[in-house]
Chains A and B, each alone.
Chain A
Amino acid sequence: MTTETHTPGSPALTRTGRAARAGRGAPPQPPRRRFAGDGIWPWLFLAPLVGGISVFYFWPILQTAFYSLTDWGAFGGWDFAGFENYVALFADPALYLSFGNTLLYTGIVMLGIPIAVFLASLLNLPGLRFASLYRVLFFLPYVAMPTAVAMVWRIIFNGDFGLLNYGLGFLGIDGPYWISTPGAATVAVAIVGLWSSLGFAMIVLAAGLKSIPPEMYEASELDGATRWRQFRSITVPLLTPSIFFISIVTIISSFQVFDLLYAILGSSNPVLPKSMSLVYFFYREGFVNNDKGYAAAIAMVIFVIIGIVTAIQFRLQKRWVQVD
């Protein structure tokens, strides 16, 4: 390869000459074109990443699948246990409780999507001033450290001196002790989840809105369509791919809620066993109760649930996404 260097220009000529001579029946264009990666090079490029991924991701995935079939003793030793963990897990009320809490959390966070559609359509009004300021304000919670914002939300939700109950008092509502009442705690965490993910949904949806041709609105306006009618008949249908995308991302990330729950409720909160999410349940079994086999089984269940959601996504995407 390096021998070709000294005479710039000539290798190209040689190649065409060779190609011309070799033009018998073989496919003429791509066959012996030299890629930079031929030989050892691609492996040198890939070694650090593939090595790291194999050790810290591939192997752990296989190992967790195996762990889920083992029973861990108090001192870290283990025995093969077959499907014992799964049998026990499916008989464990904690699984259904944490699954239910996760669903409730996800449902509440999903309520943010219609709000985000509405806000994004306002944000996309042509010639809107301060649009980038609004983007920043709505996006701020998304980039803020979850454990740091959780601190202020803990106080806002405080039953005695929290701002939320103070505000509700004006409406004549006696707010609950949010963080120490089982159902209310999940709702409180989900409100923060909604608050922190709204900006992201808005930005993705606003990008989707940009791709709708303005002529559609102009044409419908000539036909006398109202704003609401335009929103319903043009905006929402043409936005379905983005709406669908953001729903899936929201569901998947909500199913893995941990940070906010842990930081808002606090690890020593007595209400936690009733308010925990699936991932908190996993964390508790694996790292607090030190039952690695059981925790691995929970991880596999989370994996399967997310796998199902992803599979549904790919199925439905064909029906939803418009090709234009």
Chain B
Amino acid sequence: MTEAVASVRVPPAARSSAPTPRRRTRHRGGSHVFAHIILGGGGLLMAFPFVWQIIMSLSTNAEVQSVTPVFWPAERQWQNYAAVFTRLPFLEQLTTSVVITVIRTVAQILFCTLAGYAFARMRFRGRGILLALVLSILMVPSQVYLLSQYQIVQNLGLLNTLGGLVLPGLFSAFGTFLMRTAFLAMPTELEEAARLDGANPFQIFWKVMLPLAGPTISVLAITTVLWSWNELLWPLVVTTFSDRMPLSAGLATLIGDRTTDYPVVMAASLLAMAPVLIMFIVLQRRVIDGLASSGLK
């Protein structure tokens, strides 16, 4: 409706030309060069460590340790990438990372949407207090529950197992908060119509509300994948054998080794980052907006 009003007011000639006054366009045109220099230069600086990592992953160990940096290796050492799989328990670690990330993401989507929906749309005794308690967890730094989580996992005999790695991350107060906000913003008409059609609350949730929550669920999925893939402290604590670790912890334990083969470590790091970086580049708009709006790492 507002568009219609605007089109009435604005003469067609003005609309077809630049939307801003000419004087300002010229002004901006000049400063854009400056902006491109700063942003382009800064962007290259931000990306440089990744590029440097690629270069080193294709170098020999001697080239990496050369006092005068070798920016272009004499011969591309592609076998460094093969060595990642033969010399490190990379495949085991990759599998572990994938499995724990998938399980956590599915579990968080399921548990957080269910609970978020209940908090947003259902009436029950103690809702306010329970919600406040769940949200209060957001303010507690992870170190506070880490010791005791470790104790629980140890008592369950789950140290060095997938179960132990995956467990606490199945549940998320943040995800519940995120989903509750999404469900609160939805219109009630659809639910009421479904109820009149005789759907039970689970059917309403599953068939009507869940599909509508798609965009927020994707934000939850992205944040869970990122967090689970990159997390270090918990895996470091619950796993001691390198072939049981996920990639994040596995890489961290590679260093300090006297006989470090730097190019192989670089190749391993790149391969470890790749899935998430590819996801980011493909879904960049959604990832950036989702993370920025969630305000959480």
Interface residues of A (CB under 8 A from B): 1-2, 4-6, 8, 11-12, 34-38, 41-46, 48-50, 52-53, 55-61, 63-64, 67, 119, 122-123, 125-130, 132-156, 160-161, 163, 166, 195, 198-200, 203-204, 207, 218, 221, 227, 245, 249, 253, 255-256, 258-259, 262-263, 266-269, 279, 282-283, 286-287, 292, 295-296, 298-300, 302-303, 306-307, 310
Instruction: Flag B258-284 by CB within 8 Å of A: 1 or 0 each.
Output: 000010011001101100110011001
- How many residues of chain B get a CB closer than 8 Å to chain A's CBs? 112
**Distance of A228 from chain B, by nearest CB (Å):** 12
| Docked pose: A113 CA to B201 CA in angstroms | 46
Asked whether, in the complex, the Cβ of B251 is within 8 Å of the Cβ of A147, the reply is yes
Contacting pair B256 A269 (CB below 8 A)? yes
For B137, give its contact among A45, A53, A144, A199 (CB under 8 Å). Answer: A53
Taking a contact as CB atoms closer than 8 A, the residue among A41, A61, A146 that contacts B202 in the complex is A41
Are B149 and A56 within 8 A (Cβ)? yes
- Complex: A307 Cα to B35 Cα, angstroms: 39
Chain B interface (Cβ < 8 Å from any Cβ of A): 20-21, 24-25, 28, 31-32, 34-36, 38-40, 42-44, 46-47, 49-50, 52-53, 56, 64-69, 110-112, 114-115, 117-119, 121-124, 127, 130, 133-134, 137, 139-152, 167-168, 170-171, 173, 176, 191, 195-198, 200-202, 204-205, 226, 229-230, 232-233, 236-237, 247-249, 251-256, 262, 265-266, 269-270, 272-273, 276-277, 280-281, 284-285, 287-288, 291-293, 295, 297
Q: How far, in Å, is A43 (CB) from chain B's closest CB?
A: 7
Given A35-B122, A48-B110, A127-B28: A258 touches B232 (CB 8 Å cut-off): yes
Cross-chain pairs A/B with CB under 8 angstroms, 19 sampled: A4-B198, A34-B195, A48-B110, A60-B149, A63-B151, A119-B38, A132-B284, A135-B284, A140-B277, A144-B230, A144-B273, A147-B251, A150-B252, A163-B52, A279-B143, A302-B143, A302-B144, A306-B139, A307-B139
- With A148-B251, A200-B292 as known contacts, state yes or no: A263 contacts B232, CB within 8 Å: yes
Q: How far is the CA of A84 from the CA of B174 in the complex (A)?
A: 35
**Given the complex, which residues of B lie within 8 Å of A207, measured CB to CB?**
292-293
Q: How far is the CA of A93 from the CA of B195 in the complex (A)?
A: 64
Given B20, B123, B202, B277, which contacts A126 in the complex, CB threshold below 8 Å? B20
Instruction: Please give, as numbers and ranges, the residues of chain B lying within 8 Å of A262 by CB-CB distance.
Output: 232, 236, 252
Are A136 and B232 CB-contacts (below 8 A) given A43-B124, A126-B28?
no
Complex Cα spacing A203 to B195, Å: 41
Checking A125, A138, A287, A292 against B237 with a beta-carbon cut-off of 8 angstroms, the contacting residue is A287
Q: Are A227 and B144 in contact (CB under 8 A)?
A: no
Nearest residue (CB) in B for A165 is B67
